[in-house]
Structure formats: structure tokens, C-alpha cells
Chain A
Amino acid sequence: MGSPNEPPDGKTPLGADLVIPALALGFVAYFFVSIADLAWEAKANGVLIGTILLSLIAVQLLRTAAQLVSGKASLGFERLWAPREALPKRLGLVLLTVAFIVAIRWLGLTLALFLALAAALYLMGVRKPARLAAVPLAVAGAAYLLFIVALDSDLPRGPVERLLGF
């Protein structure tokens, strides 16, 4: 019996292999549009690299098409999601990071990092309250000492930094 993540038809799922070429193709198209009206010195490099990249993408598309025609492959995206059990954790981690980047403006580095890390650990399956508090506290404390106190970086200050006088 195959793994639950394996496609039932036994064909190699190649749809995911086309995501990077698709991104690259879109980027080349946008790049060409953005340099259309510029002097040749500003577009020479982009045109050269873009053309080579387009040729390589064409080769990859032909290879995939050949596999599809021979019946050995499908356009499935399984490789991108597999294993399915990890998908909620992975997506959750990305969404929490987005929330952290947005919230850091108002909460400041220390508090935002503490809350985001506590939430991320919970998402990953940590349930012991002591660990859920201690790990984020240690990491946020170290980040505060390094970035705010020692390096005096421009990272956003929030209630914690104001309370501690930075």
C-alpha cells in the first residue's frame, strides 16, 4: 500500500514543478514591460537574462509536456503540500509571521515577538503553560537586549520598550 500522500493514479505529479517557471515567466513579462521605454543601457542586461530565462522555461515546459503525453505524469500539486499533516502548521506559521510584521508597528518588537512566538509554539503543539511562557519570554528578552539596548536599532518601540525606558 502506498503512502497517503502518493497520488492514487501512480503518475508523477509535475504541476508543482511549474510554479517556479510560472513565477519566473510572470516576472520576465513584468520586467520587459517596466523597461520598454528605457535607454538601451538600462535594458540590455534584463533583455539578455530574460531571453535566456524564457528559453530555459520553454525547455522545462516541453519536458513536462512530453511526460504528460507519455502518460507518466499528471499536473498534480501534491509535492507542494505533502505531507498533508504538516500543512496547517506551515500555513499557520506563515500567517502568524504576517500578523507579527503587521502588529510590530503598534506593539513594538518585544511584545509582538513574545505574543507571536507563544502563538506559534501553541500552533506547533506545545501545550505546557510554563514552556509557552518561558521560551517566548527568553527569546523576546534576548531580542530586546540585542536589538534595542545594545544595537539601538530602529525597530518599532511599543509599551514594553517605553516602560523600560527605551
Chain B
Amino acid sequence: MTWGFLLDQFATQLGLWWVIWPAILLGIVVGILPGFSPQNTLIMLLPLTLAVKVEAAMAFMIALYSANHLAGGIPAILMKIPGSGGAAATTLDGYPMTRKGQAQQALVLCFTASVFGGLISTLATIAALPWLSQLGLYLRSVEMVVVMLFGLTLIAVIAAKDMVKGLIAGFFGLLIGVVGTDHVYNTPRATLGFIELYDGVPLVPALIGLFAISEALVMVEEKMIVAKEGLERAAGARWAETVEGLRMSLRRWWQIVWTSFVGLAIGIIPGAGASVAAFVAYQQSRLWSKQPELYGTGVPEGVIAPEAANNGVTSGTLVPMMALGVPGGSTAAVMMIVLQYHGMVMGPRLFATNPAIAYGVFISMAVAYVFMIFTILPLARYMSRIVLIPTTYLAPVIVLVTIVAAFGERQYLFDMALALVFGVIGYIAHKTNYHVTAILIGIILGPVFEQYLVRSLRISEGDLSILFSSTLGNVLWALLAASLALPAWRGYRQRAALAAEKFGDER
């Protein structure tokens, strides 16, 4: 690979602007609407992607996929409704910023972190592709079991104020994720007699119910999304807020860089995905922050970390697909089908036989991110106005429109009812501080976790000690134990300090 080859590829991709722009716009719309996943959109557009040349099809799919990852943060910030699982962590500080009347700044932070996070990780991937492709090979099913548990534990510890409640929510979600037929014998489990649950609990109704409907049910308590003190600020927002958001991003450029690498590393692991990456980045950002106690109250770092990471995942997910022929996620799987239809054989040989496609995928992504920043940044000011709509109108529209969107993934009316059930569960969880995010991530990880666990146990003929048989796995177990013990210990110390202070005052 030479500089000449790379520049030539960049020029080719720039020439495909007529495919990239519409794909970006479509990806943004799809990303904003919960229930419209990029893979479903790509499936619906298969006739188009199969009909055009492979380069154009690839540019279209990549641009739509990247824009989708970026746009998932928009409803997460404005209404606490993540457009996808990867944006769930963005709600933690993005929505509090909106409540404070800083929706426009939060959106700009989200856009810049997403674009530059995606761009940095894509350029890093292009540079290190041959080595990165080997990383996924070190993680076998045993290590993946621990990675999944580690991800879930981190989410439970981060998202919930109360660790026990967070863990209950996470494991409750994990068990819900196991509903459906098992991977070996296809026997149904806990389906309540519904044939619609044989394939497992569908993710879109769960996402819509836990976030959109539950949030709308809570929303009716207040007249506006924005708190009283932030209302004037939100109503008077001008271009200056966009500039302020850009300044905030510039001041935190290093955070964008390192959290995008967190996303890239996690994206390379097949099955881990954007949701785990966003939470790990958020947790790491809080861990290294000088003011960790401010996280969750609406700090810019809390928006930057998950957004840079979940866009860092976009290039990472494609690494195992290109290098090993193993798609890192469902969207990558759809892309792989399209590329295979065009005669591309994924795997290590692709880099030798068709470098223009192998590297072109990532160059196309870099170009899409450059186009994206100019498309979306001017829209922040107008998008942020949505929070000024009274909840009298917003809540019923959210409930009824998202219920219809729940139908989209599988075209079952059953899924609409399921979304409502999840909405009620989400509402109860919301009111009692069992974090809905932990439940959702549990549901997402449930089937993947079972796959890796059963694979490990089949190798060991049912012996659980296999889970502690690898060095890397044991290191991860130790980290998991530390992530549980440290917050508990910190909480104990804080309580002890408070008690001592109180005792001192009384004396």
C-alpha cells in the first residue's frame, strides 16, 4: 500500500459524493427514529445496492451506517430516547444538558465527537489494518463470556446509582434475552406460549418500550422537557451556542481521540458492539476525570466519551468482516452479503486480491465522516428547538408513533403490544431507580452471552472451571471483581466519612 494508492482511493470516493450525500441524510433519519435499524434499511434497499457497481454500493452502505451511528445520539440528547443501543450511554449526560437548556451545545458535542471519533479510528484502522485483524483471534469463547459479563457489570455500576439495583436490572435483562429457542436443540424456553418469541425477544420493541414509552409516561408529569431554569436559555438559543459547542469540543480534543480508540478496540471484538463500547468509554472517562461526581449531571465529557466510542466502533466492526470473514455485527453481516453478491470473498486474501475494496471500505468511511460534519452541524440549532414543544403534545405523539415503529422490524402486531409491556416495565424501573439501560443491554447481550457460554461448556463437557482456564480470561475476571469491589469500597468510605463528620458535629 503506497501513498499514491491511498490518494487515488480518496479521489475515487470523493467522486461518489452523489451516493454519499443521500446515504448520509437517510442514515440520519434512520438513526433518529428508534425502530429503524441500519441493517433493516440496507435490507429494504438491497435491490438498489445489488443493482449498482460494487464501489457505489459500498460507499452507500458505509455512509448510511456511519450516519446512523451519529444520529442515534440526537433523540438520546433531546428526549432521553436513544435511536439505537449504542446511544444509550449518551442519555446519561446528554439529556441533563438538554434539561439545563444546553441542547444545542450537547448536539454539537455529539456531532463533533462522533465525526472526529469516527474519522480518527477509521484512519487508525487504515494504517494498522493487517495487525488489527489479528486482535479478534486472541479472544475465544471463554474470554468472550467474561467480556460480556464485564460489559454488563460496568453498565450496571455506571448507569444505576445503586449497584445492587443496577445488577438486578442487568441480569433481569440478560435472562429476558435468553427467552426463545436454544442454540443447540431449538427447544423453546420461557416463551409464555407465544410463537412470536421463539426467535427471542426482539430488540426494537424492547428499546422502544424501555426508553421511548417509559420516558413519555414520565414526561407527562411536567409541562416541558427543559427544566424551568433552562427554558429561557433554550428558547433564546442562537448560532453562538453552536460555536460554544465547537469550543467545548476543541478543549476536549484529547478525550475524543482516546475514547474513539476504546470504541475501535471493542468494535474489533465480534459481538461486543457499540453499546458496550459506549459504556466502557463513559466509565473510563469518569474514572480518569478530576470531577467524577459531576458525571450524570450534564457534563460535556459525558456526551463526548460514548459518542466518540460508538463511532469508533463503526470501523472496528468492519475489521473482522474484511480480515477474517466474520461480521462484527448485524449491519456488517448485511454489507458482507452485498459484497459477496458482487463476487468479493472476505478474509485475509482480500487484501492481496482486491486491495481497492479492502482499503476502499475504510477510505469510504473517512470520506463519509468528512461530508457528515458539514451536513449535520448547521442543523443542531434547529434540531434543538424540538425540546420547546410542550409535553402535552410530545408524550402522546412519542407513545403512538414509536408503538407503530415497533412493528417495523418483524412486521408483527405482537411487537407493538410487547413494546407497551416493556414501556410499563421501563416506567416502573425508571421510578424506582432500576436503570432501564442495564435491562436493555442485558437483553442485547443475552443471546450472544449464551452462545459463548454454551460453546465453552460443550468444550469442557459441562465443567464450569473452563471459565477460569485462560490467563487472559482470568485477568478479565480480576478486573470484573475490581469493578464491583471498588465502587462498594468507595461507598463504604464515603459513608464512614459522613458518619465521622456527623459525630464530630454532635460533639
> Could you tell me which A residues sit within 8 Å of B by CB distance?
16-17, 19-21, 23-24, 27-28, 30-31, 34-35, 38-46, 48-50, 52-53, 56-57, 59-60, 63, 79-80, 83, 86, 89-90, 93-94, 96-98, 100-101, 104-105, 109, 113, 116-117, 120-121, 123-126, 135, 139, 143, 147, 151, 153-156
Determine whether the beta carbon of A80 is less than 8 Å from that of B431: yes
Residues on A with beta carbons closer than 8 Å to the beta carbon of B458 = 41
Determine whether the beta carbon of B408 is less than 8 Å from that of A153: yes
Beyond A24-B168, A42-B184, A156-B413, is A93–B396 a contact (Cβ under 8 Å)?
yes
A44 to chain B, nearest CB (A): 6
Determine whether the beta carbon of B453 is less than 8 Å from that of A53: no
Determine whether the beta carbon of A34 is less than 8 Å from that of B190: yes
A21 to chain B, nearest CB (A): 6
Closest 7 CB pairs of A and B: A120-B396, A42-B182, A45-B450, A154-B411, A53-B171, A41-B184, A24-B172
Determine whether the beta carbon of B175 is less than 8 Å from that of A41: no
- Nearest residue, chain B, Cβ from A44: B457
B211 at the interface (CB under 8 A from A): no
A72 to chain B, nearest CB (A): 15
A17 to B220 alpha-carbon distance, docked (Å): 21
Determine whether the beta carbon of B392 is less than 8 Å from that of A121: yes
Contact of B220 among A28, A35, A97, A124 (CB under 8 A): A124
A94 to B214 alpha-carbon distance, docked (Å): 10
Which of B191, B392, B396, B413 has the most C-beta atoms of chain A within 10 angstroms of its own C-beta? B396
Determine whether the beta carbon of A60 is less than 8 Å from that of B175: no
A94 to B403 alpha-carbon distance, docked (Å): 11
Determine whether the beta carbon of B454 is less than 8 Å from that of A53: no
Contact of B428 among A19, A59, A83 (CB under 8 A): A19
> Could you tell me which B residues sit within 8 Å of A by CB distance?
44, 164-165, 167-169, 171-172, 174-176, 178, 182-185, 187-192, 213, 216-217, 220-221, 391-393, 395-397, 399-401, 403-404, 407-408, 411, 413, 416-417, 420, 423-425, 427-429, 431-434, 449-450, 453-454, 457-458, 462
Determine whether the beta carbon of A153 is less than 8 Å from that of B407: yes
- Nearest residue, chain A, Cβ from B167: A56
B401 to chain A, nearest CB (A): 7
Given A45-B454, A48-B453, A139-B400, output 17 extra A-B contacts at Cβ < 8 Å: A19-B432, A38-B187, A40-B462, A41-B185, A41-B454, A45-B449, A45-B450, A89-B220, A93-B396, A93-B399, A94-B420, A94-B424, A97-B403, A98-B420, A117-B400, A124-B392, A147-B404
Beyond A59-B164, A86-B221, A93-B217, is A31–B392 a contact (Cβ under 8 Å)?
no
Determine whether the beta carbon of A121 is less than 8 Å from that of B393: yes
A54 to chain B, nearest CB (A): 9
Beyond A89-B220, A120-B396, A147-B404, is A20–B168 a contact (Cβ under 8 Å)?
yes
Determine whether the beta carbon of B190 is less than 8 Å from that of A94: no
Residues on A with beta carbons closer than 8 Å to the beta carbon of B450 = 45
Contact of B221 among A34, A83, A153 (CB under 8 A): A83
Determine whether the beta carbon of B428 is less than 8 Å from that of A20: yes
Determine whether the beta carbon of B185 is less than 8 Å from that of A50: no
Main secondary structure on A side of the interface with B: helix
Residues on A with beta carbons closer than 8 Å to the beta carbon of B164 = 56, 59-60, 63
Beyond A27-B190, A31-B190, A56-B171, is A39–B184 a contact (Cβ under 8 Å)?
yes
Determine whether the beta carbon of B457 is less than 8 Å from that of A49: no
A153 to B406 alpha-carbon distance, docked (Å): 12
Determine whether the beta carbon of A44 is less than 8 Å from that of B189: no
A120 to B397 alpha-carbon distance, docked (Å): 9
A49 to B432 alpha-carbon distance, docked (Å): 22
Beyond A44-B462, A60-B165, A155-B407, is A139–B221 a contact (Cβ under 8 Å)?
no
A101 to B220 alpha-carbon distance, docked (Å): 21
A9 to B399 alpha-carbon distance, docked (Å): 36
A59 to B450 alpha-carbon distance, docked (Å): 25
Name 6 A/B residue pairs within 8 A (Cβ), A-sorted: A24-B168, A39-B184, A49-B178, A97-B403, A124-B395, A154-B411
Main secondary structure on B side of the interface with A: helix
Residues on A with beta carbons closer than 8 Å to the beta carbon of B423 = 94
Contact of B187 among A42, A48, A80 (CB under 8 A): A42
Residues on A with beta carbons closer than 8 Å to the beta carbon of B44 = 151
A145 to chain B, nearest CB (A): 13
Contact of B189 among A46, A53, A89, A109 (CB under 8 A): A46
Contact of A101 among B168, B185, B416, B429 (CB under 8 A): B416
Residues on B with beta carbons closer than 8 Å to the beta carbon of A53 = 168, 171-172, 175
Contact of B175 among A27, A63, A101, A156 (CB under 8 A): A27
Determine whether the beta carbon of B449 is less than 8 Å from that of A120: no
Residues on A with beta carbons closer than 8 Å to the beta carbon of B408 = 147, 151, 153
A16 to B176 alpha-carbon distance, docked (Å): 21
Contact of A46 among B175, B397, B457 (CB under 8 A): B175
Residues on B with beta carbons closer than 8 Å to the beta carbon of A97 = 213, 399-400, 403, 420
B498 to chain A, nearest CB (A): 16
Residues on A with beta carbons closer than 8 Å to the beta carbon of B184 = 39, 41-42
A49 to chain B, nearest CB (A): 5
A90 to B428 alpha-carbon distance, docked (Å): 12
A97 to B209 alpha-carbon distance, docked (Å): 12
A96 to B432 alpha-carbon distance, docked (Å): 24
Contact of A44 among B221, B391, B454 (CB under 8 A): B454
- Nearest residue, chain A, Cβ from B453: A45
Contact of A143 among B187, B190, B404 (CB under 8 A): B404
Determine whether the beta carbon of A113 is less than 8 Å from that of B453: no
- Nearest residue, chain B, Cβ from A46: B178
A125 to B178 alpha-carbon distance, docked (Å): 42
- Nearest residue, chain A, Cβ from B175: A49
A75 to chain B, nearest CB (A): 13
Determine whether the beta carbon of A20 is less than 8 Å from that of B169: yes
- Nearest residue, chain B, Cβ from A155: B407
A79 to B430 alpha-carbon distance, docked (Å): 10
A83 to B131 alpha-carbon distance, docked (Å): 57
